[in-house]
Structure formats: C-alpha cells, structure tokens
C-alpha cells in the first residue's frame, strides 16, 4: 500500500481514514483538496470497497420509534454495523461501504450494490470528519482499513428487518 507524501491536516481530512480511502486513487490530492474545501470527493468504487445503496425508506421502515439521526444510528448498530455508512446530501439514500467484489453476487430487491464492473463506479465521499448535514456526511465513522467495512450479511439483516416491519404494517 502506498500513500502520498503530501502532508495531511488530520483536523480537515480525517487522518488514517483519509489516507486509507484515497490510497488507491490515481490522484489522491484531488480528494484531499475537495475535502479541505468542504466538498465531497469522487472516489472510485471497487478498489478498496464496493457500495450498497439503500433508499432511506428501506432503512427507516425497520426502525421502531423516532427516526432521527440517533434512532437511525441505533438501527445500524443493533445489527452490528458500526462504521462505513454515508448519508446522501438529500438524505434520501444511505451508502454502505462493503468489501470489494460484494457486487458480484448482490441480489437484494430494492437495493443496488456497485462495484468495479458497474458502468458508473464512483461515489461522492464526504471528508472523514464530516458527521452532520448539510450535505453528505458519515452517519457512522469512516473506515481506516478494510476491517471497518460493513459486513454484507449484516446489511442483509438490516434489509430483512425492514421487510419484516413492512409485512406487519
């Protein structure tokens, strides 16, 4: 694994998470510059991670009680997802970073998994330190290595909880 020699301000970039997220990018300085300016960085999917896109309805249908940020975090934590979750700028989608090649056998209805083979395999990623709106933000901490990616089986459990609640309502 190689990292750029350019110094990184950990208060802006997220330190180890920023290094890991951009370490396989061809132009990591572009990502760091975007983050320093308060913008999302466009990162290629399929290098360090694939991404599962969940519509907010799929996530929020599985929640008992208040569906605020804390309630949504608790919903993810309850199934063992503790990091690597981004909320879209419009809060209409959740992006869960999962191990590369997950997309090859992903088949959960109402969701999409994007990997290296997808025709549009890029994701707008907020700075690892961005934990609140406005704009896209990390609902759960940004990963700083592959062990922090979401387990696809736990993502399926989360989706299953939503399907179960939908069937009850």
Kind and range of the H or E element at 10?
A: helix 10-13
Q: Is 132 exposed, middle or buried (0-12, 13-18, 19+ CB in 10 A)?
A: exposed
pLDDT reported for residue 1? 40
Could you tell me the residue ranges of all domains in the chain? Answer: 40-123+130-168
Residues 20-71: pLDDT tens digits? 999 999 999 999 999 999 999 999 999 999 999 999 999 998 887 888 999 9
Global pTM value: 0.89
Which residues, in sequence order, are CB contacts of 120 under 8 Å at separation 6+? 114
Per-residue pLDDT tens digits for 89-136: 999 999 999 999 999 999 999 999 999 999 999 999 999 999 999 999
pLDDT of residue 62: 84
pLDDT (0 to 100) of residue 147: 97
């Amino acid at each position: 694994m190689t990292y750029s020699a350019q110094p990184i301000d950990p208060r802006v970039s997220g330190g180890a998470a920023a290094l890991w997220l951009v370490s396989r990018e061809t132009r990591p300085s572009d990502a760091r510059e975007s983050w320093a300016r308060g913008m999302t960085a466009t990162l290629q999917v399929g290098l360090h991670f694939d991404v599962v896109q969940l519509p907010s309805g799929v996530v929020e249908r599985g929640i008992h009680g208040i569906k605020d940020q804390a309630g949504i975090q608790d919903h993810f934590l309850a199934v063992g997802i503790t990091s690597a979750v981004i909320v879209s700028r419009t809060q209409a989608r959740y992006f869960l970073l999962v191990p590369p090649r997950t997309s090859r056998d992903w088949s959960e209805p109402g969701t999409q998994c994007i990997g290296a083979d997808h025709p549009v395999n890029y994701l707008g990623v907020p700075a690892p330190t961005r934990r609140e709106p406005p704009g896209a933000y990390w609902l759960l901490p940004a990963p700083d290595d592959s062990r922090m990616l979401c387990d696809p089986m736990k993502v399926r459990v989360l989706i299953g909880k939503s399907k179960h609640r939908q069937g009850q309502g």
